Amino acid sequence: MAQKKEDFERKLSTRHMQMIALGGTIGVGLFMGAKSTIGWTGPSVLLAYGIAGFFLYLIMRALGEMLYVNPVTGSFSQFATEYMHPVFGFLTAWSNIFQWVVVGISEMIAIGTYMQFWWPSLPGWVPGIIAVLFLCLANLISVSAFGELEYWFALIKVVTIVAMILVGLVIIVFGFNGIHPTGISNLWTHGFFTGGFKGFFFALAIVFASYQGIELIGVTAGEAENPKKSLVEAIQSTIGRILIFYIGSIFVMLSIYPWDKITKIGSPFVETFAQVGITAAAGIINFVVLTAALSGSNSAIYSSSRMSYLLSSEGQLPKWFSKMNRHGVPYISVISIAAGILLGVLLNVILPLFYKGADQIFVYVYSSSVLPGMVPWVVILISEIRFRKQHPEDLKNHNFKMPFAPYSNYLTLLVLAVTLVFMFINNETRIPLIIGVIFLAAMTILFFTKFNNGKNKTMNKLK
């Protein structure tokens, strides 16, 4: 299988790729969103993060097996086209764009809120506009500029989480600043499966959503310096680190505070630092979530612009979306995605002036990215099964095979399907799920009415 010719420069190192994967998944969902999952299922949320992390590892191994042979930009979309049907490549690319643009808009809006912590009278839209222009410029300079920014954004989050875990362990084991050692009895004395079977699966759906973005490694593959080495190291190390950061931080929180107390306090991270007398805890965490929002938006512009480039190269967007600047960056795609995020920020300011329920619409749209965000995972698992059948010769000397395939693929697909069923049962996630279904249905209709010409262009280019 020959690789598609690309004009991208291979400038992303292993450290960039590892931090990009971490930065895509460790964000505001952990710093601010853990309360909702804990509220649904209590301390058993630790099991939910472990289970989700295990199946995400299998998904990444399935992707890694194919990328090891053919490391291309926008990989999972191209694999969906080649091994399934062009409509799935189309849906995967647009799902990725939808997911990341919505994430980018939400992060820009959040940045405005975070900046008001220090400057309460500052209009929320001002920091958002400045941030999106800054990130757009960084993405236009070169892929290495994107990678370097994402590296430092992610590093700030990682250092904060490690510090929080260490501080928490000191409180748990030794006590501190007049606080007696808490031990870990809070994990069970107030209940473990507090929401029962249903509550656990409600939480599992949101936990899976918090891992979305990990597949960003598959978008960066075509711009990695040493694809095989970088991919193996990034995939092998990233899952373990994510599990440590998620499970480690939540373990500490649930040990120090009874689970029902965590659902009532503002930010568990702030409270943990405050317990040891760090009076600037709120300011520190606010700075960290600010960088987390910048990281999410940075990834949004990068990933969406590469998928726009791919769609353009397949004739499913105007050709100018695939134009490259001298740094090997699809600059029209980058500018267009940044403009879309900027438009979303402005609409969030303008619409509430005319329609009182506009803020609720945005919440639904943001939540609806959960289903499209799962599309890449599904196509990765199915594509890998067909990849094995079509290219058995590539597996003979393959050093990074998917464990227990195809049974691990089928099991993971089953778990994702069960998760979606519980999203539909849950009143709080049903409408966002339906919006996601409508989006995918609309894009499917668009493909078959406008782009289905009976020819698989991507396959022709790859062969």
Over 50: is that where the pLDDT of 2 sits? no
- Mind listing the pLDDT tens digit for each residue in 192-224? 999 888 889 888 888 887 787 777 776 666 566
Alpha-carbon distance of 429 to 167, in angstroms, equals 34
Q: Which amino acid is at 31?
A: F
Is 457 within the bounds of a domain?
A: no
Q: Give domain status of residue 438, yes or no.
A: yes
pLDDT at 10: 61
CB 333 within 8 A of CB 309: yes
The Cα–Cα gap between 327 and 270 comes to 41
The more confident residue out of 31 and 368 is 368
Amino acid identity, position 300: A
Q: Is residue 2 part of a domain?
A: no
**CATH code assigned at 394:** 1.20.1740.10
Q: With respect to residue 7, please indicate whether it lies within any of the assigned structural domains.
A: no
> Can you give the residue range of the structural domain that contains 245?
14-448
Place of tokens 């405005």: 112
8 found inside a domain: no
Structural tokens at position 212: 């979305």
Q: Per residue in 294-338, pLDDT tens? A: 888 888 898 899 899 989 988 899 999 989 988 888 999 999 999
Measured CA to CA, the distance from residue 20 to residue 220 in angstroms comes to 9
| CA distance linking residue 323 with residue 313, whole number of Å | 10
* Cross-strand partners of 224: 12
Tell me the Ramachandran region of residue 122: left when phi exceeds 0, alpha when psi lies from -120 to 50, beta otherwise. Answer: beta
**Tens digits of per-residue pLDDT, 376-385?**
999 999 999 9
Per the structure, how many domains does the chain have?
Answer: 1
- Span 82-134, pLDDT tens digits: 999 999 999 999 998 998 888 888 888 888 888 888 898 998 889 999 999 99
Write down the residue that tokens 């993405």 correspond to: 139
252 belongs to a structural domain: yes
Give the per-residue pLDDT at 14.
65
Rounded Cα gap, residues 362 and 199, in angstroms:
25
Query: What mean pLDDT do residues 166-178 have?
Result: 84
What local confidence, expressed as pLDDT, does residue 460 receive? 41
Q: 74 pLDDT band (50/70/90 cuts)?
A: low
Helices (H), 70-142: 75-83, 86-115, 125-141
Residue bearing tokens 């769609």: 311
What gap in Å lies between CA 222 and CA 43, rounded to an integer?
A: 40
Neighbours of 365 (CB within 10 A): 18
Confidence of residue 241 (pLDDT cuts 50, 70, 90): confident
Determine the distance from the C-alpha atom of residue 452 to the mean position of all C-alpha atoms in its chain, rounded to a whole number: 30
Give residue 463's pLDDT: 38
Q: Which of 3, 52, 65 is nearest to 384 (CA)?
A: 65
How many Cβ atoms from other residues are within 10 Å of residue 360's Cβ? Answer: 11
For residues 376 and 76, the answer to whether their CB atoms sit within 8 Å is yes
What span, in angstroms and rounded, lies between the C-alpha atoms of 285 and 294?
A: 14
Share of the chain above pLDDT 70, in %: 83
224 φ, ψ (degrees, to nearest 5): -85, 145
Does 456 reside within a domain?
no
Average pLDDT over the chain, rounded to whole? 82
pTM: 0.84
User: What is the rounded average pLDDT of the residues 130-142?
Assistant: 91
Q: What is the pLDDT of residue 447?
A: 95
Asked whether residue 165 carries a pLDDT value surpassing 90, the answer given is no
Q: Is 297 contained in some domain?
A: yes
pLDDT at residue 341, rounded to an integer: 92
The pLDDT value recorded for residue 58 is 94
Token output for 329: 């960056």
pLDDT for the residue 300? 86
Confidence band, pLDDT 50/70/90 cuts, at residue 369: confident
- Which residue type occupies 99? Q
8-44 tens-digit pLDDT:
556 666 677 667 666 656 665 565 557 778 888 889 9
Residue 408 has pLDDT above 90, yes or no: yes
Where b means 16+ CB within 10 Å and e means fewer, 418-431 reads: ebbebbeebeebee
At 445 the pLDDT is 96
Three-state secondary structure call for residue 217: helix
Measure Cα distances from 446 to 83, 308, 363, 438, 443 in Å.
21, 16, 25, 12, 5
